[in-house]
Structure 1
Amino acid sequence: MTPDTTVPARKGLLNALGLHRPELRAWAMYDWAVSAMQTVITTAVFPIYFISVAGADMPKPQATAWYSWANTAAAVLIAVLSPILGAMADYRSAKKRFLSVFMLLGVFSTMGMFFIMHGDLFLAATLFVLSLAGATGSMTFYESLLPHIAREDEIDRVSTGAYAMGYIGGGLLLAINLAWISNPALFGLPSGDNLTPAEATLPARLAFLSVGGWWLLFSIPMLRGVPEPPRRIETDETPTGNAVVVAFSRLRETLGELRLYKQAFLTMLAFTIYNDGIQTIVRMATVFGEELGLPRSDLITAVLIVQFVGIPFAFLFGTLASRLGTKRSILLGLAVYTGICIYAYTIHTVTEFYVLAGMVAMVQGGTQALSRSLFASMVPKHKSGEFFGFYSVFEKFGGILGPAVFGIAVSTTGSSRSAILWVIAFFVVGGAMLMTVNIAEGERMARDADARTLSA
């Protein structure tokens, strides 16, 4: 009788994808859940709705400015709260509780977007700020769980596997939403030329409602299947201390001991610089496409290309890291990004723009996922919430300088085509800084810090 090799083969595949244990699959499902918010709300549907519907009573540049201010307000809110709440969650062993609060804030704010109608600019801006704060805040605590559930030899595969799950989840719901927005009659929704404002906006508003439901539903596996890390306190702390006081004390201590965590902070600084280049490409892609004269439908198709082509390449980067090393794999991704900028300078057609989107998909998820796992490997586990709070701040504010430089370059050269070459500097400088990181030393310092803690 031929032995059944199906189960071992399945386990081997899941191991290669970083999804080989139930808690790893449950953790990765949160990437699936929250990525729907990132694709539909922050990238494809809501920005257009914000300007064309909520901001319909004012000039488009003014509505666009409101949207930019809302992004900034959310970033500032998270920048202030993330490190403090991260340290509190570490001390109280409450990462999942904090994650749940931010997740619910984001879910109900996103669902509330269903009620945004013509001219409701203030309501739209408020809900967008709360939704974005919910997503960003929950990701801080979600990512801080990574060093607790993944071993050192699998952390890269687990991180890239989760990113790939995010591509699947976000891309799938975006495709469904775009289907009923483009063909409402096919789904039994109002269509035609003589619709009321409520009927005309119903497909988009239902998309916002679906994002909240999707986000909530697919968060359940992570909340049920990932254990809260055991509580650890430092030798100068007591289990019954005031969490707020301890949080500020830990933050002050960490900032005063940057020498001990030099490699982790150097990694974070390098990531901030090259991520500035990545975020500039992501945010300016639509502007660049419009300058080429591409229809909006083609720009949205390019977003879908990035989502679905990115899936296998995110998994591939996890395997690549096990062979080349995490740092070398990230540097390879940055080299490809440099080639992307050079290629973007030469393109003129829709087909070439699609090729450009495919090139971005090859490296975007893998580069960012490996950056996350590299940082996670060098942070003390008992301070992972605090450190990922800092990481969240650097990640969000890492997207400020790049677009500013891009804008200056456009003003100077008069063209996005020339400005895209300026972005190469971020990949060169960030990559050079990453090359100086001593990963072994960073991992050793993190382990030593954990060894000095007590069980609570």
Structure 2
Amino acid sequence: MDDKKKINAWVMYDWANSTFATTIMAAVMPIYFIKVAGGTDGSWSFTQTAAAIIVALLSPLLGAIADHTGRKMAFLRVFSLIGAFASVAMAFIGPGDMWLASVLVVIGMIGFGTGNTFYDALLNDVSSPAQRERVSARGYALGYLGGGVLLAINLGLILGWESIGLPDSTAASQISFVMVGVWWVVFSLPLFRNLKDPKRAQEDKGTAAAHLRSGMKRLKTTFSQIKKYPELLKFMLAYWFFFDGINTIIVMAASYGTTIGIEDNHLIAALLITQFVGFPASLLFGKLADRLGSKRMLYNSLIIYLIIVVLGYFMTSALHFYLLAIMVGLVQGGSQATSRAIFSKMIPPGRTAEFNGFLSFTSRFFSFGGPLVFGLVKLISDSSRSALLAVAFFFVVGIILLTFVNLAKGEREAEQTL
């Protein structure tokens, strides 16, 4: 199989699983959880927290085991199917089924989040260092497009349930959950079919206990010897801060918009705008990162995020919210794709899943900072606008720390042996 076929199969997975992020995590399930299952915004928050903690704990250990056994694709298939089946099972959530909804959402997020650890690790297997900015950006671009397309279809079902003969909007929402699972599996098939684990991994007969011990040992080595890769460590420090800022904007945007009086239909429309703007913007971002340098483009995206935060402080209308959604779409996918490509080049060979798992663990562990600062400032000032402005701190620190990262030196350090 040529490299182009591998790359095409890899990027299609983003198209496949991003529907979970849009329909389940962002748009449909949060509303369904409260209005049908009988949950609250607080119980939804606890559900998200529980899933994040489990994914954070699983990712580095399973990543180490995957590198030891050479079974990244096997792990990816398992967790993809877990997430897809959980999505389909959400169709059985009825009125008052808050606990069932919570359990299935947590299982689905484990499949989604842990699966992405192995998916990100495969970037090194399908592309050369020179290609990674563009390939990573293509993945994010297709993710935006796929997630947006299915979300638009699902919203059409939910809003037009009567015209297509459904009994109510609840049934339409349940169909949308099934569609997420089916979409995820069907469009993952190219990756599952065309990328295989090494033959030695398929023939490995070691016991589960032995693999667990080896994974723990490798993980311990990662924690103790990561200081041998100072540029990688410095990038991770910067990433923790600006990722926290980006994540806070993602998870707080809808609630912030609601607080200042933006109606639900405008919030959903803005989400769709972000998805469809993100598709071409991510592709362009990847090309510019390849031409102008990934670090420069990452800087530019973080500066735009700073501008978004400041403008968000002064936002007063749905039009303003739409304009900010466009700005987010211009940089969100590109900044994440470029960060993924930069990190991939500074990972020691043969330990891609392990180090991606380590990044997943640490970034999720520190990701409470942004929402916590937002909440504390809101509590002290009684102002959501001041709380949003406080998020600028994470982008400022991230930008400053990024200036100290020498990418070329980091790539050279990656060639060393742990």
TM-score category of the 2 structures, normalised to the smaller one: over 0.9
CA change 1:231–1:443 in 2 (3 A) is farther
CA distance in 2: counterparts of 1:394 and 1:411, whole angstroms: 27
SS of residue in 1 equivalent to 2:227: coil
CA change 1:44–1:398 in 2 (3 A) is farther
1:208 aligns with 2:177: yes
CA distance in 2: counterparts of 1:418 and 1:379, whole angstroms: 38
Retained in 2: the 8 A contact 1:102–1:134?
Answer: yes
1:223 aligns with 2:196: no
How far did 1:395 drift?
Answer: 3.4
When the two chains are superposed, the root-mean-square deviation of aligned CA atoms in Å is 1.9
**Which of 270, 276, 288 pairs up with 2:238?**
270
How far did 1:240 drift?
Answer: 6.1
1:100 aligns with 2:77: yes
How far did 1:426 drift?
Answer: 0.4
Counterpart residue type for residue 129 of structure 2: E
**Which of 400, 403, 409 pairs up with 1:432?**
400
CA distance in 2: counterparts of 1:120 and 1:81, whole angstroms: 27
Q: Mapping of 1:40-51 within 5 angstroms?
A: 40-51=23-34
The residue aligned with 2:127 is 150
SS of residue in 2 equivalent to 1:259: helix
**Which of 30, 36, 44 pairs up with 1:67?**
44
The residue aligned with 2:65 is 88
Q: Mapping of 1:51-200 within 5 angstroms?
A: 51-55=34-38, 63-190=40-167, 199-200=168-169
Retained in 2: the 8 A contact 1:87–1:251?
Answer: yes
Retained in 2: the 8 A contact 1:309–1:362?
Answer: yes
1:448 aligns with 2:416: yes
Counterpart residue type for residue 302 of structure 1: A
Cα deviations by residue, 1:89-110 (Å, 9 ceiling, x for unpaired)? 1111100101111111111111
The residue aligned with 1:5 is none
**Which of 299, 306, 322 pairs up with 1:354?**
322
CA distance in 1: counterparts of 2:195 and 2:349, whole angstroms: 16
How far did 1:228 drift?
Answer: 2.8
Retained in 1: the 8 A contact 2:346–2:413?
Answer: yes
The residue aligned with 1:406 is 374
Instruction: Report which of the two structures shows the higher radius of gyration computed on alpha carbons.
Output: 1
SS of residue in 2 equivalent to 1:214: helix
CA distance in 2: counterparts of 1:342 and 1:419, whole angstroms: 11
Bigger helix share: 2
Cα deviations by residue, 1:379-398 (Å, 9 ceiling, x for unpaired)? 02311111011122233334
SS of residue in 1 equivalent to 2:43: helix
CA change 1:420–1:230 in 2 (3 A) is farther
Cα deviations by residue, 1:258-304 (Å, 9 ceiling, x for unpaired)? 22122223212211111111111111111221122121001000000
1:318 aligns with 2:286: yes
The residue aligned with 2:220 is 252
Retained in 2: the 8 A contact 1:150–1:158?
Answer: yes
CA distance in 2: counterparts of 1:43 and 1:340, whole angstroms: 20
SS of residue in 2 equivalent to 1:176: helix
CA change 1:396–1:229 in 2 (3 A) is farther
SS of residue in 2 equivalent to 1:186: coil
Retained in 2: the 8 A contact 1:91–1:231?
Answer: no
| Identical counterparts, % of pairs | 43
Cα deviations by residue, 1:46-94 (Å, 9 ceiling, x for unpaired)? 01111111116xxxxxx22221111111111112211111111111110
Retained in 2: the 8 A contact 1:159–1:370?
Answer: yes
Counterpart residue type for residue 339 of structure 1: I
How far did 1:437 drift?
Answer: 1.2
CA change 1:108–1:163 in 2 (3 A) is same
How far did 1:351 drift?
Answer: 0.9
How far did 1:148 drift?
Answer: 1.5
CA distance in 1: counterparts of 2:411 and 2:212, whole angstroms: 28
Retained in 1: the 8 A contact 2:137–2:337?
Answer: yes
- Scaled by the length of structure 2, what TM-score is found? 0.95
The residue aligned with 2:301 is 333
Cα deviations by residue, 1:350-379 (Å, 9 ceiling, x for unpaired)? 111100110111110000111111101110
CA change 1:215–1:172 in 2 (3 A) is same
CA distance in 2: counterparts of 1:189 and 1:240, whole angstroms: 51
How far did 1:230 drift?
Answer: 7.3
The residue aligned with 1:195 is none
